[in-house]
Amino acid sequence: MSSPENDLERALLRAQTEEDARPEFYRLLMEAELFVIGDVVDAAGTKQEGIPPGAQLRLAGIEHDGHSYHLIFTSMKRLETFAGEPASYFRIPARQLFLATKGAHFMLNAGDELGKPLMPDEIDYLLNPPLPTEGAVPEEGTRVKLSHPSPYPHVLVKALKTMFARNPNVLAAHLLTISYNDNDYPHPLIGVEVADDWPGVSKEIGNVLKAANAGTVVDMMPLNRANPEGVARALLETPPFYASESKN
């Protein structure tokens, strides 16, 4: 396999074998400018330079597993390796492309070991990631299971620690995974000790989670050491993954 050409390809390589590297790959993907085999044309079908307002995208495709996949690439080298000869292409920000082609299937780096199909529901999630839920209260009779995360979400934790260090209201943060009933898949639960302004802190956390694109639902809740109960007590008994200098 040829060496990665950029940060996006390096993130994709890691994400193929490391689950906790996937949020970083998706984040970089949505920030990237992609190479697309096809043309940009006006209403009369005349090829355009750049992507002017009102232009139409004509995308090349391949058939795979009963679907037509449009061809997108993370670098010019990947495109040239696939095409084997000069091909008409254009460059476009990934978010702009996906917004203009909702419901489409894409093949990222077709024919390459650094390749990946992108399905419509996956792209829709990237465009509209769910907001984190706050302090979810399970219904009566719901079985709640708490555990330590495995694999550990290093990318998510690193992003949160960076944000917490900039906010003096954040005293400490704790992490567990939570699941409801036996058939629910565990997802992260973040408990945060704050000096003040929980609404502002929770909004910042939501922005970080959206940018990091955690790829799953994330619950969060404020913690009060004066009156911890149930889930809050379990979080406080877990060593914090972040503690401010004033807390130490």
49/119 same-domain check: yes
Tell me how crowded residue 87 is: count the other CB atoms within 10 A of its CB: 14
Whole-model pTM over 0.85: no
91/189 same-domain check: no
Q: Domain boundary at 63, 94, 127, which?
A: 127
Q: What is the reported pLDDT for 182?
A: 57
Q: What is the reported pLDDT for 214?
A: 52
Q: What is the reported pLDDT for 187?
A: 82
Q: What is the reported pLDDT for 212?
A: 66
Q: For residue 75, give Cα distances in angstroms to 28, 29, 32, 87.
A: 13, 12, 10, 14
Tokens 């708490």 belong to residue: 146
CA distance 112 to 102: 25
Tokens of 2: 């040829």
Of 119, 158, 122, 113, the C-alpha closest to 9 is 113
Give me the CATH number covering residue 156. 3.30.300
Question: Does residue 1 lie within any of the structural domains?
Answer: no
Q: Please say whether the beta carbons of 191 and 215 come within 8 A.
A: no
Q: Return the bridge partners of 34, or none.
A: 92
Can you give the residue range of the structural domain that contains 94?
7-127
| Number of structural domains in the chain | 2
Mean pLDDT, 10 residues at a time, the chain of 248 residues: 86 83 84 92 80 85 88 94 88 92 92 90 76 50 76 85 93 90 73 93 85 70 85 92 81
Longest distance between any two alpha carbons in the chain, whole Å: 69
Give me the CATH number covering residue 31. 3.40.1350.90
31/117 same-domain check: yes
